[in-house]
A and B are shown apart, each in its own frame.
Chain A
Amino acid sequence: MRPAFSVVLLTTLIGLGQGLFLALFTAQSYALFDLLPRQDLHTFYAYGSLLALAFLAAGLAASFFHLGRPERAWRSAAQWRSSWLSREVIVLPLFMAVVLVYGIAHWAGGGPALIVLPSGIGIDVTVLAGVLGTLLGFLLFVCTGMIYACLRFLPEWHSPLTVINYILLGGASGFTLASLFASVAAPGLSGFFGGWAIIITLLGATGRAASLLRNSRLAPRSVLQTAIGIKHPKIAQKSQGFTGESFNTREFFHGRSAALFSSVKWFFLAAAFVLPVALLAAALASTAAAHLLAAAFLVQYCGLLAERWFFFAQASHPQNLYYQTAS
């Protein structure tokens, strides 16, 4: 498939926004149950939500560039019963609205406890919005991943690993960003986020390695013999029916050399996983950590852009069997 930069940006940016929100609410939940020292961090959470919202909005804006008719985008919420794309279109704005409510509630100081748990922990609006946002954040990851995983014709995508990797890679980049943001706005939390960022990045590396291994062993289900229904071991296309190009030759071939394709893989393995873990570990050990965390975040995001490019480019579509030779 030809990677569309609008979709590469959409999936990486909203993954970052979702991951950042999940990181923020993870810290708040820890503090709620006294696993982290309680501090007055309402401003931190409010600005953090704004940052997450900015990434989600940027991703949403990027998605419009993928549409041929962006002015009709509102129609895409119609088929939520059958289409994962439609479900994503509904869940993304819902999630953004909850992140906004979460941020505003923190900005307003959290408000009074609405429910008091038997252990004496007060549940206010920020906690309710946080729980709802966490559910929607995961749901959005599932929707985004399933858009690709549900296509059975693309064996590289048709696996639970696709959804798992969207969750882990979005989470990893979000926690790295949270660590960077906290190093500026709430230094006490930077180490907490950084530790989780290392763990999730390592889990993401495992998941992505598993999918690379799986994809390297895939055998195509469709071959030229089933594509045209002639059972002869030796068939060669002499003409695809036209001498120029068409949508079929543009959309479904990445058109890059095998050398570039392979080097993108090694680049993203280094930039999305190895380097960020090293930089995060160095930042945890150092005192002036902000610039190391900034480097970790930027390197990891570039790595994830390459990872997403590779994800699309690696998928080989069975329609390509019909478009092998122009003459």
Chain B
Amino acid sequence: MTQLALVIDLNVCVGCQACVTSCKEWNTSGAAGTMSDERPYDADPSGTFFNRVQTFEVGEFPDTETVHFPKSCLHCEDPPCVPVCPTGASYKRPEDGIVLVDYDKCIGCKYCSWACPYGARELDEKQKVMKKCTLCVDRIYDAALPERDRRPACVMACPTSARLFGDIHDPSSAVSIAIRESGGYPLMPEWGTHPANHYLPRRKTRLRIHDDELERADNPLKIDSQLPKPAQSEPSLDDVTSW
């Protein structure tokens, strides 16, 4: 069994929104029709997106951290949105676990959006059907694209490689290793939906520099000490000064 998913590294995401715009660009240009925008240049714009990057402040001033949090459909392994659909337009593909909406069958009753605790589904105001992340299903299997481009548009766009894409049921895939070794976790585990997408937590990154790393105290020839040693505030030059 394959379960394709995204693993999103919150430690790396800088909240640049590149995944949001790249997702919109790819998916609004596809055969499934546009992701419509209402009043895009007015004071109260509104539009359909598959992917949003939100920002949270954790902690209390001055000890705060800013967390950028990309959110799209999590392609749950037990998707609560699928069984409630009266027409069968919402379905989970058995071959790769992607949850999709058949836009030709959807009647726009919005019931699936009520049954999704993550708010991952958005009704398109023009087409009047429910839309959601497809994991770029029209791209990842496209044999006309070079192998390295057969990844979701958001993953391709991410400048910090915060988004990993792969099969979480394959224990040797990059996403499985990331989940296993970097503490990957699902959202709202209390509902038992088993989201396929996982998030990697923030990590503390500290750089520790010891004196011997600066002064090359282990240098057996003691060349450093023979060179002039300017004050630490002055500029230094390799092999000319000893800093």
What residues make up the interface of A, taking CB atoms closer than 8 Å to B? Answer: 1, 66-70, 72-73, 75-79, 82-86, 89, 147, 150-154, 221-222, 224, 226-230, 232, 234-248, 251-252, 317-320, 322-323
Establish whether residues A78 and B87, one from each chain, have CB atoms under 8 Å apart when the complex forms.
Answer: yes
Write the chain A residue with the least CB distance to B118.
A319
- Contact A232 B58, CB 8 Å, known A69-B107, A251-B113: yes
CB distance from A145 to the nearest CB of B (A): 15
Establish whether residues A236 and B57, one from each chain, have CB atoms under 8 Å apart when the complex forms.
Answer: yes
Instruction: Tell me if B166 counts as interface (CB < 8 A to partner A).
Output: no
- Contact A227 B107, CB 8 Å, known A150-B84, A251-B113, A319-B117: no
Residue from A66, A226, A239, A241 within 8 A of B188 (CB atoms): A226
Instruction: Tell me if B71 counts as interface (CB < 8 A to partner A).
Output: yes
Establish whether residues B85 and A318, one from each chain, have CB atoms under 8 Å apart when the complex forms.
Answer: no
Establish whether residues B83 and A247, one from each chain, have CB atoms under 8 Å apart when the complex forms.
Answer: no
Interface residues on B, range: 35 or more
Rounded to whole angstroms, the CA-CA distance of A239 and B15 in the bound complex is: 11
Rounded to whole angstroms, the CA-CA distance of A86 and B127 in the bound complex is: 22
Interchain residue pairs A-B with the least CB separation, the first 10: A68-B108, A319-B119, A68-B128, A241-B52, A76-B86, A86-B86, A82-B83, A75-B87, A239-B55, A244-B45
Which residues of B113-142 have CB atoms within 8 Å of chain A's CB atoms?
113-119, 121-123, 125, 127-129
Establish whether residues A79 and B52, one from each chain, have CB atoms under 8 Å apart when the complex forms.
Answer: no
> What does the 1/0 interface line of B49-64 toward A look like (CB < 8 Å)?
1001111111110000
Residue from A76, A83, A235 within 8 A of B57 (CB atoms): A235
Q: List 5 A-B contacts (CB under 8 A).
A: A86-B86, A226-B190, A240-B54, A248-B122, A322-B71
Write the chain B residue with the least CB distance to A85.
B86
Establish whether residues B85 and A79, one from each chain, have CB atoms under 8 Å apart when the complex forms.
Answer: yes
CB distance from A143 to the nearest CB of B (A): 11
Rounded to whole angstroms, the CA-CA distance of A75 and B129 in the bound complex is: 14
CB distance from A46 to the nearest CB of B (A): 33
Residues of B within 8 A of A79 (CB): 83, 85-88
Residues of B within 8 A of A241 (CB): 17, 20, 49, 52-55, 71
